[in-house]
């Protein structure tokens, strides 16, 4: 016991560690060292000293999408925290419109009643009709569910245990290797339904990551985590987004990233360019960018011209998408989540919407015109399952005879030969 603090302090623990090192058999030393390091990390983690934690109450946790989110094939989403200490320089969550209080990157709000609220939201006894079938997306636009504060509160793990109990499929998206902690409960979900494990990257360059993503494990560590989940039988994906203009969007960097993903057996890669909104996000990124390369800041000002959504000029997006599309075709990696991963876990209407939007994206990536996206929107406005309108599909706005035949094929077979051909 420490005479000053009346309990075991860090100094006592280190002294004990050095004494045990002298007596431990050499073969046991490595295991002991790892266990002790984990104890220190969980009981006195240095990153807790660098962040401000505010405990808050939330009225709701589970968010149902108005229309299924086809990038993630998710019907539901949730944010268990507000704010993120990963502190990625380009993070859109820093933008004022999301109303994240405090200093983004250091201050985190914890929804301490989240699990009690989620229990009520998932309890079928409290529903007049069953919840719609679909994936729950565990990621978040203003937080990462596995940021360091999760080690203390374990809200993500407890939420996953509830999803396992109620047989909901999940799609996990994180930058943190802490997700490995929950391998056991994710196994339960994957055996009962499906657990998709995805990680986001801007490149696979550890040096670049250290500058722009200071609070997360490097890309090389994230790739190892994905490989571990792949070996355990999970479908795995890479969200290569956002690529950083003039830094990680070059042909060589994209080639390096796609090659690394292919080598470890990735099931799909979703690609996206960066957005940059005025205010906090813009100012913070510009400061970080100048520290990296002062010559790049003026180039960013040229392609980001004040669009209200933070979008860059379309000619820039077109050029980087062409680079990605040509490279990924060489490796034959799907650029949308393949239907074999999700099709059995969504209802018929959502299945049609996903496939139509995927076709729309694949055609536009190949510089072809498409009205399939509008057709997907029309289907999403139906008040009843699409099969109930099977004979009236052509009467819907934006749906012609060819699209109607494709929709009926999806209803009959669960997929479309044209869609499968585009994916391949």
Q: What is the pLDDT of residues 78-103, one digit of tens each?
A: 999 998 899 999 998 887 777 777 77
Tokens representing 289 are 């960018």
Per CATH, domain 347-423 is 1.10.760.10: no
pLDDT at 1: 47
The overall pTM is greater than 0.85: yes
Q: Is the pLDDT of residue 148 over 70?
A: yes
pLDDT at 130: 82
Q: Distance (Å, rounded) from C-alpha 75 to C-alpha 399?
A: 24
Partners of 64 in beta bridges: 76
Over range 30-52, report the average pLDDT: 51
pLDDT at 229: 99
Assess contact for 268 and 336: CB atoms under 8 A. Answer: yes
Q: Which CATH class is domain 52-331?
A: alpha beta
Q: Is the pLDDT of residue 171 over 50?
A: yes
What spatial distance separates the first Cα and last Cα of the chain, rounded to whole Å? 64
User: What distance lies between CA 214 and its chain's CA centroid?
Assistant: 18
Q: Is the pLDDT of residue 124 over 80?
A: yes
Q: Is the pLDDT of residue 36 over 60?
A: no
pLDDT at 31: 53
Over range 194-216, report the average pLDDT: 97
The torsion angles phi and psi of 273, rounded to 5 degrees, stand at -85, 175
Q: Tell me the pLDDT tens digit for each residue of 276-328.
A: 999 999 999 999 999 999 999 999 999 999 898 999 999 999 999 999 999 99
Return the SS3 of 401.
helix
Confidence of residue 30 (pLDDT cuts 50, 70, 90): low
Contacts of 133 (CB under 8 A, 6+ apart): 75, 345, 346, 347, 350
User: Do the domains at 52-331 and 347-423 have one common CATH topology?
Assistant: no
| Three-state SS letters, 14-77 | HHHHHHHHHHCCHHHHHHHHHHHHHHHHHHCCHHHHCCEEEEECCCCCCEEEEEEECCCCEEEE
Sheet holding 268-273, edge to edge: 63-69, 74-78, 135-138, 170-174, 195-201, 236-243, 268-273
Mark residue 58 as left, alpha or beta (left: phi above 0; alpha: psi -120 to 50; beta: remaining).
beta
Whole-number mean pLDDT of the chain?
89
pLDDT at 95: 76
Return the SS3 of 99.
coil
Tokens representing 329 are 């075709």
**Angle between helical axes of 183-192 and 155-165 (0-180°, round to 10):** 20
Partners of 239 in beta bridges: 200, 270
Assess contact for 210 and 164: CB atoms under 8 A. Answer: no
Over range 377-387, report the average pLDDT: 94
Q: What residue ranges do the domains of the chain occupy?
A: 10-44, 52-331, 347-423
Q: Tell me the pLDDT tens digit for each residue of 44-73.
A: 444 455 678 999 999 999 999 999 999 999
pLDDT at 99: 76
pLDDT at 25: 53
Confidence of residue 28 (pLDDT cuts 50, 70, 90): low
């Amino acid at each position: 016991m420490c005479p000053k603090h009346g309990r075991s302090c860090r100094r006592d623990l280190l002294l004990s560690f050095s004494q045990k090192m002298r007596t431990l058999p050499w073969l046991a030393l490595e295991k002991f060292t790892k266990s002790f390091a984990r104890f220190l990390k969980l009981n006195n983690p240095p990153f807790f000293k660098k962040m401000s934690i505010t405990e808050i109450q939330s009225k709701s946790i589970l968010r149902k999408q108005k229309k299924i989110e086809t990038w993630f094939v998710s019907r539901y989403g949730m944010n268990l925290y507000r704010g993120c200490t990963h502190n990625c320089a380009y993070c859109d969550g820093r933008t004022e419109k999301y109303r994240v209080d405090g200093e983004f990157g250091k201050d985190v709000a914890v929804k301490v009643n989240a699990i009690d609220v989620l229990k009520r939201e998932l309890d079928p006894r409290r529903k007049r009709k069953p919840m719609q079938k679909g994936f729950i997306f565990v990621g978040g636009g203003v937080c990462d569910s596995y940021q360091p504060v999760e080690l203390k509160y374990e809200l993500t793990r407890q939420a996953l245990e509830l999803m396992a109990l109620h047989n909901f499929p999940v799609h996990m998206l994180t930058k943190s290797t802490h997700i490995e902690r929950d391998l056991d409960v994710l196994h339960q979900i994957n055996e009962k339904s499906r657990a998709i494990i995805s990680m986001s990257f801007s490149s696979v360059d550890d040096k670049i990551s250290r500058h722009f993503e200071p609070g997360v494990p490097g890309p090389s560590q994230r790739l190892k985590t994905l490989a571990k989940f792949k070996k355990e039988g999970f479908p795995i994906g890479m969200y290569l987004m956002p690529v950083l203009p003039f830094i990680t969007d070059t042909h060589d960097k994209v080639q390096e990233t796609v090659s690394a993903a292919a080598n470890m057996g990735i099931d799909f890669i979703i690609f996206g360019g960066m957005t940059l909104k005025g205010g906090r996000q813009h100012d913070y990124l510009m400061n970080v960018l100048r520290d990296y390369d002062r010559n790049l800041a003026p180039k960013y000002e040229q392609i980001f011209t004040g669009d209200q959504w933070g979008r860059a000029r379309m000619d820039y997006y077109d050029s980087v998408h062409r680079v990605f599309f040509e490279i990924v075709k060489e490796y034959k990696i799907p650029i949308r989540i393949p239907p074999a991963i999700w099709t059995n876990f969504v209802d018929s209407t959502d299945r049609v919407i996903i496939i139509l939007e995927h076709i729309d994206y694949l055609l536009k990536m190949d510089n072809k015109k498409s009205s399939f996206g509008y057709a997907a929107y029309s289907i999403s406005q139906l008040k009843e399952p699409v099969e109930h309108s099977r004979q009236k599909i052509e009467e819907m706005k934006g749906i012609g005879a060819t699209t109607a035949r494709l929709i009926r094929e999806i209803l009959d077979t669960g997929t479309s030969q044209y869609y499968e051909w585009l994916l391949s």
